[in-house]
């Protein structure tokens, strides 16, 4: 089912983007709030990017390896789009949108060799582990790809497979009670960052929402890890981009990926801590109990950049509904503990100039913002905005 977007919405969203504003008060490069919640089961997690939610579950089983790669285990990723997420998703056959997302997830996680498949081998040519990541879209509010890629990698990191001992021909798979299960060996964390382009590539937005996706001309997906290694780049839609735009997107992706990686790492650390101390953990614990949540509304910031009654303040304000929620969630607007090594500088080989041909910080503040017609904020702004929108649910 295709939903027709009214001309009024199209026109308004385009003119809002042209004047550098977004409907939810974010800045051009702001990411929505990322939340990662782990379940009690190993390899189970729910990721929320704004209102978009994805549930991930990793599982494994012993299978016969493929003939071409007898010494490698298998990794499958499957994203399910049920009508629960959005009325536009139809049950049954996968839509072209679903196929595209699945393919991109495979490219970003499996083909970037994030998971060491050789370590999943038990007996060459006979028995290997098959690891499966099942992703379910619970709610769709745009940017499903980023949310699913975070969920997939966060779930893989959390997952533990049973310990196996091989003695001669004898293969023993130990139960979870028998021996401590082992974590998968994961080389890096590939994370997708989606950029939406408007008006033939003239304007760019990070992390498009549902409304923005419905009027955009095309997207560019940059999948990267924290070591600044590109895993996948994909462009779709009807627009032509300049070389500068590509490198600029990569730069933004570096910042976003390092922030999201920190969020995943701290969520993992918190979960590990809770398990170690024997505290209660899981989805039930992450929800506020004995509270009616139907009246809950996501907090949002609305930048006021207009002079009203002569009080020309350019500050940001919070909406009223925060007072209502008051569920102990800290608003660490500035005090987020996500740290980024100064963006634009390579994280490997510290102290050396990067060879990526991207301008470093000092040159950034002067000449960088004339690259495109879009509202160019400096990297420093970018970092601040990113920090703010990136919050953890502990």
Partner 1 sequence: MAASMTNADVVLPGDVLTDRLKEITNKKVRLGPGLRWQSKDVVACKCGVLKSREDHAFWIDNHQRRYIPAKGESIIGVVSLKAGDIFRVNIGSNLPAALPYLSFEGATKRNRPNVQIGDLVYAKLLVANRDMEPELVCIDGSGQSNGLGVLSREGFMFKCSLHLCRKILSPDCSLLRVLGKKIPLEVTVGMNGRIWLRCRSVNDTICAMNAILAAEYTPEQNLKSMVYKIFGGVAAV
Q: How many residues lie near partner 1 (CB under 8 A)? A: 33
Window contacting partner 1 (CB under 8 A); options: 63-71, 115-123, 255-263, 313-321: 313-321
Closest approach of Cβ 298 to partner 1, in Å? 10
3-state SS class at 101: helix
Window contacting partner 1 (CB under 8 A); options: 1-9, 126-134, 343-351, 372-380: 1-9
- Using CB under 8 A, pick the residue from 240, 242, 284, 302 that binds partner 1: 302
Phi and psi dihedrals of 191, rounded to 5?
Answer: -130, 130
Closest approach of Cβ 386 to partner 1, in Å? 21
What residues contact residue 78 under an 8 Å CB cut-off, 6+ apart? Answer: 102, 132, 133, 134, 135
- Using CB under 8 A, pick the residue from 243, 277, 290, 308 that binds partner 1: 308
Whether residue 151 contacts residue 135, with contact meaning beta carbons closer than 8 Å, is answered with: yes
Closest approach of Cβ 117 to partner 1, in Å? 44
**6 scored as a contact of partner 1 (CB under 8 A):** yes
**4 scored as a contact of partner 1 (CB under 8 A):** yes
- Using CB under 8 A, pick the residue from 320, 337, 350, 362 that binds partner 1: 320
Window contacting partner 1 (CB under 8 A); options: 221-229, 240-248, 294-302, 352-360: 294-302
Window contacting partner 1 (CB under 8 A); options: 57-65, 94-102, 309-317, 334-342: 309-317
Give the residue from 190, 44, 224 showing the smallest Cα distance to 114: 190
**291 scored as a contact of partner 1 (CB under 8 A):** no
User: Cα–Cα distance between 218 and 220 in angstroms, integer?
Assistant: 7
Instruction: Give CA separation, 384 vs 30, 74, 133, in Å.
Output: 9, 40, 33
Which of 68, 326 has the CB closer to partner 1? 326
**335 scored as a contact of partner 1 (CB under 8 A):** no
What angle (nearest 5°) sits at the alpha carbon of residue 107, between those of residues 88 and 233? 85
**91 scored as a contact of partner 1 (CB under 8 A):** no
Question: Which residue, chain included where needed, has tokens 């490198």?
Answer: 247
- Using CB under 8 A, pick the residue from 176, 297, 348, 380 that binds partner 1: 297
60 forms beta bridges with 131
What residues contact residue 141 under an 8 Å CB cut-off, 6+ apart? Answer: 50, 51, 52, 209, 210
**287 scored as a contact of partner 1 (CB under 8 A):** no
Residues recorded for the chain: 394
User: Cα–Cα distance between 205 and 280 in angstroms, integer?
Assistant: 39
- Using CB under 8 A, pick the residue from 66, 82, 95, 313 that binds partner 1: 313
What angle (nearest 5°) sits at the alpha carbon of residue 234, between those of residues 28 and 144? 60
Closest approach of Cβ 11 to partner 1, in Å? 6
What letter does residue 171 receive in the DSSP assignment?
A: E
**9 scored as a contact of partner 1 (CB under 8 A):** yes
**10 scored as a contact of partner 1 (CB under 8 A):** yes
**326 scored as a contact of partner 1 (CB under 8 A):** no
**5 scored as a contact of partner 1 (CB under 8 A):** yes
Question: Which residue, chain included where needed, has tokens 């969203």?
Answer: 13
**337 scored as a contact of partner 1 (CB under 8 A):** no
- Using CB under 8 A, pick the residue from 94, 164, 304, 371 that binds partner 1: 304
User: Cα–Cα distance between 386 and 394 in angstroms, integer?
Assistant: 19
How many other C-beta atoms can be found within 10 angstroms of the C-beta atom of residue 152? 31
Phi and psi dihedrals of 77, rounded to 5?
Answer: -125, 135
Sign for the CA dihedral angle at 79, 82, 84, 87 comes to positive
Which of 4, 352 has the CB closer to partner 1? 4
- Using CB under 8 A, pick the residue from 11, 165, 332, 363 that binds partner 1: 11
User: Cα–Cα distance between 237 and 101 in angstroms, integer?
Assistant: 15
Whether residue 140 contacts residue 85, with contact meaning beta carbons closer than 8 Å, is answered with: yes
**15 scored as a contact of partner 1 (CB under 8 A):** yes
Question: Which residue, chain included where needed, has tokens 């910042």?
Answer: 255
Closest approach of Cβ 324 to partner 1, in Å? 5
Site residues (CB under 8 A) for partner 1? 3-12, 15-16, 19, 21, 23, 25, 294-295, 297, 300, 302, 304-306, 308-309, 311, 313, 317, 319-321, 324
């Amino acid at each position: 089912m295709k939903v027709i977007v009214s001309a009024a919405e199209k026109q308004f969203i385009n003119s809002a983007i042209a004047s550098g504003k977004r409907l939810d008060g974010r800045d051009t490069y702001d990411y929505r709030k990322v939340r990662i919640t782990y379940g009690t089961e190993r390899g189970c997690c729910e990721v929320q990017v704004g209102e978009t939610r994805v549930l991930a579950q990793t599982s494994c089983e012993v299978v016969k390896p493929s003939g071409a790669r007898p010494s490698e285990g298998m990794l499958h990723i499957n994203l399910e789009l049920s009508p629960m997420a959005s009325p536009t998703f139809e049950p049954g056959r996968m839509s072209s949108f679903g196929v595209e997302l699945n393919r991109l997830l495979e490219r970003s996680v499996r083909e970037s060799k994030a998971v060491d498949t050789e370590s999943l081998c038990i007996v060459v040519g006979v028995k290997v582990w098959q690891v499966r990541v099942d992703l379910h879209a619970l709610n769709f509010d745009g940017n499903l790809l980023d949310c699913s890629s975070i969920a997939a990698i966060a779930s893989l990191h959390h997952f533990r497979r049973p310990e196996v001992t091989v003695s001669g021909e004898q293969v023993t798979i130990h139960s979870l009670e028998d021996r401590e299960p082992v974590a998968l060996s994961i080389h890096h964390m590939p994370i997708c960052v989606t950029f939406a382009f408007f008006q033939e590539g003239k304007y760019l937005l990070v992390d498009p929402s549902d409304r923005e996706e419905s009027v955009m001309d095309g997207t560019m997906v940059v999948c990267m890890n924290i070591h600044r290694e590109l895993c996948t780049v994909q462009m779709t839609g009807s627009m032509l981009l300049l070389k500068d735009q590509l490198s600029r997107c990569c730069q933004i992706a570096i910042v976003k990926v390092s922030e999201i990686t920190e969020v995943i790492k701290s969520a993992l650390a918190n979960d590990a801590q809770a398990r170690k101390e024997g505290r209660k953990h899981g989805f039930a614990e992450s929800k506020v109990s004995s509270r009616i949540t139907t009246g809950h509304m996501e907090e949002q910031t609305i930048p006021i950049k207009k002079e009203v009654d002569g009080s020309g303040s350019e500050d940001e304000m919070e909406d009223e509904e925060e007072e209502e929620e008051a569920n102990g969630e800290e608003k660490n607007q500035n005090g987020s503990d996500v740290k980024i090594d100064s963006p634009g500088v390579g994280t490997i080989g510290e102290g050396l100039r990067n060879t990526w041909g991207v301008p470093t910080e000092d040159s950034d503040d002067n000449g960088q913002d004339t690259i495109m017609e879009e509202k160019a904020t400096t990297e420093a702004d970018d970092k601040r905005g990113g920090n703010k929108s990136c919050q953890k649910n502990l």
